[in-house]
A and B are shown apart, each in its own frame.
Chain A
Amino acid sequence: MEIAVEGLGKTYSSRGGEDVVALEGVTTTIAAGDFVSLVGPSGCGKSTLLDILTGLTPKTTGRILFNGESSDEIAPKRVGLVFQKSVLLPWRTALENVYLPAEVGRQPLAKTNEAEYRSRAEELLDLVGLSGFTEKYPWELSGGMQQRVAIARALLLEAPVMCMDEPFAALDEFAREQMHIELLRIWDKQGFTAVFVTHNIFEAAFLSNRVLVMTPRPGKVVAEIEIDLPRPRSSDMIGSLEFTRNVRRVRDAMDQHWYQ
């Protein structure tokens, strides 16, 4: 699903009467099936942009078009969401957590198609490499496994867009690298449009087709860097000259606009 963002802005009015501009004039187009990362320091509005895309926060100005349709008409279930924390409900098994999106909403999909969504949840756990863990509770899983369950949950309703807000920031280095490869494999297989928020330039460069560099006060996109690494990406590429050069380009764009 193509996402077109046009002149998007978000202003929070604080109690003291001073308005805080979180996001200003963000314009970009993300092609269907693309993998785009938003990088920038804290407070650059990357999470705000994500919240607006997912419909959690209303925008102040501008518009978002999903395949040409205005975002206001897009049901929330069109966007899958993965947070920094896995946000799994501890009283539900891995399978029940993945199944959750089918149970809620004004017209829960599970009401008519319970068996279908159950088996789909099982397939997704298999896809993220957790086929033997369907009946485990979140606290019985490692951090990386919990995040895999969260990804499977975001995929349940086959949302054409997947928004991820620093999903691997809490993982250790090894688990994170592994999750990068896993995520790209899942993305390749499912074909969703991926919007990935991170403050890790390496991560952004490794995963994405394109990196949007953002700066704070007010939050805006100051550069768009095409990553010219071939696909499929593999961990061998990390440390290669090509990879380093791409990371450098993102860095340079950031330094140039941030330290002005």
Chain B
Amino acid sequence: MSISTDTAPLLDTSRQKRSIGAAMRTLGLQLGTLIVFLGAWQILTVTGIIPSYLLPTASEVLAALSRDIADILTGGPMWTHFYTTLIEIVLGFIGSVIIGVAVGAALAEFKVVQRALYPYVVAANATPRIAFAPLIVIWFGFDYASKIVMAIAVAAFPVIVNTMAGLSATDRDDLRLMRSLGATRGQIMWRVRLPTALPYMFAGFETAMLFAAVGAVIGEFMGGNAGLGYVTLLAQELFRLDDGFSAIALLSLQGFLLHRLVVIARKRFVFWQSDDTLPM
């Protein structure tokens, strides 16, 4: 056997060890940022530079937050709000993925559909769908349905647009290769076009997860009596700013974790593209 002189880029363990150390330093830096932020907040509020009727102190918010988290963990009323919003976001996300992939694929696959619909998709995307919120409440009521529909209305578009772009992004040489092998349309779809589209689709899914949270909270603002969005609205009406901030922090945590799930899924399914440039 001939000996090859060209070598592949190989991973060495010392680099991995260094990267663990780097990860710890990054984590320390990120915790430090949080502490500085909360410290500054505390100083500004305790000293009265920012009056307490505008902004509660950081410690008050943290107290409310730990009370709410304890309530969630023991299955108290906050738990109901927490999981109500969670279900709205997750179902809104799933609905967005199903509708978005179906519509995006139809637009990419059938040129007639694309010619007939594309301008309207762009126009609908440019419309602030939040404006539909009052109508959606009339159509779907004050229950879960209106929140999920609102979430889908906001979150389906990034999936549509990215699925369409991804399925249209197939490399010309990949197609030449497949055609030279006599591949059928279905084989080209499953073996080349869909895998090529996956990174685009997951980018859409990530955005959709965040948008679904926005849609769900707007839905809760419009009516109903459950969910973290409803809690912030109630806190505002009762002038309990610490409770409001706590609910917002919980929404933020929820969105962060759900988004992480999508990122983890992407890394698993789109393993051939890495994005190790972001410190997370």
A interface, CB within 8 angstroms of B? 54-56, 75-77, 79, 81, 83, 85, 87, 89-91, 100-101, 103-106, 108, 126, 129-131, 133, 136-137, 139-145, 174-175, 178, 181-182, 185
Known: A81-B177, A91-B195, A104-B178. A142 touches B184 (CB 8 A): no
Residues of B contacting A75 with CB < 8 Å? 182
Chain A residues positioned under 8 Å from B171 (CB to CB): 87
Contact of A126 among B1, B176, B192 (CB under 8 A): B1
Task: Report B-chain residues with C-beta under 8 Å of the C-beta of A106.
Answer: 182, 184
B6 touches A175 (CB 8 A): yes
Q: Are A142 and B7 in contact (CB under 8 A)?
A: yes
**Contact indicator A89/B181 (Cβ below 8 Å):** no
List 6 extra interface pairs beyond A76-B182, A83-B173, A126-B1, CB under 8 A.
A56-B179, A83-B176, A89-B174, A100-B181, A104-B183, A174-B6
Q: Does B191 contact A (CB under 8 A)?
A: yes
B180: interface (CB < 8 Å)? yes
Which residues of chain A are within 8 angstroms of B1 by Cβ–Cβ distance?
126, 129, 131
B140-183: which have CB < 8 Å to A? Answer: 171, 173-174, 176-183
| Cα–Cα, bound, A87→B5 (Å) | 22
B2 interfacial contact with A, CB 8 Å: yes
* Contact call B180/A54, Cβ cutoff below 8 A: yes
Tell me the minimal C-beta distance from A119 to chain B in angstroms.
17
B119 on the interface (CB 8 Å rule)?
no
Q: Is the CB of A142 within 8 A of B8?
A: yes
| Leading 7 A-B pairs by shortest Cβ distance | A104-B183, A90-B272, A144-B6, A105-B182, A76-B182, A142-B6, A104-B187
Contacts of B128 in A (CB 8 A): none
Identify which of B6, B180, B183, B271 contacts A56 (C-beta below 8 A). B180
Beta-carbon contacts of B34-45 to A below 8 Å, as 1s and 0s?
000000000000
Chain A to chain B contacts (Cβ below 8 Å), 27 pairs: A55-B180, A76-B180, A77-B181, A83-B177, A87-B176, A87-B177, A89-B191, A91-B195, A100-B181, A103-B191, A104-B183, A105-B182, A105-B183, A105-B187, A108-B187, A126-B1, A129-B3, A130-B4, A140-B8, A141-B8, A144-B6, A145-B4, A145-B6, A145-B8, A174-B6, A178-B4, A185-B2
Q: At the interface, yes or no: B21 with Cβ under 8 Å from chain A? A: no
Residue of B nearest to A179 (CB): B6
State A85–B175 Cα separation when bound (angstroms): 13
Q: Are B182 and A85 in contact (CB under 8 A)?
A: no
- B contacts, CB < 8 Å to A: 1-9, 171, 173-174, 176-184, 187, 191-192, 195, 271-273
B6 partner residues in chain A, CB cutoff 8 A = 142-145, 174-175, 178
Q: SS class of chain B's interface: helix, strand, loop or mixed? A: loop
Q: Is the CB of A105 within 8 A of B184?
A: yes
**Set of chain A residues within 8 Å of B177, measured between Cβ atoms:** 81, 83, 87
Q: Chain A residue with minimal CB distance to B174?
A: A87
From residue B274, how far is it (CB to closest CB) to chain A in Å? 9
Cβ-defined contact, B182 with A144, below 8 A: no
Q: Find chain B residues with CB under 8 A from A91 CB.
A: 195, 271-272
Q: Which residue of A lies closest to B173 (CB)?
A: A87
Q: Which residue of B lies closest to A81 (CB)?
A: B180
Cα–Cα distance between A74 and B273 once the two chains are bound (Å) = 38
Tell me the bound Cα distance from A77 to B4 in angstroms.
30
Q: Which residues of A contact B271 (CB under 8 A)?
A: 91
Nearest-neighbor residue (CB-CB) of B274 within chain A: A139
**Cα separation A182 to B4 with both chains bound (whole Å):** 10
CA–CA, A181 and B178, complex, Å: 28
Q: B187 to chain A: which residues have CB within 8 Å? A: 103-105, 108
B181 interface neighbour in A105, A130, A136, A181, Cβ under 8 Å: A105
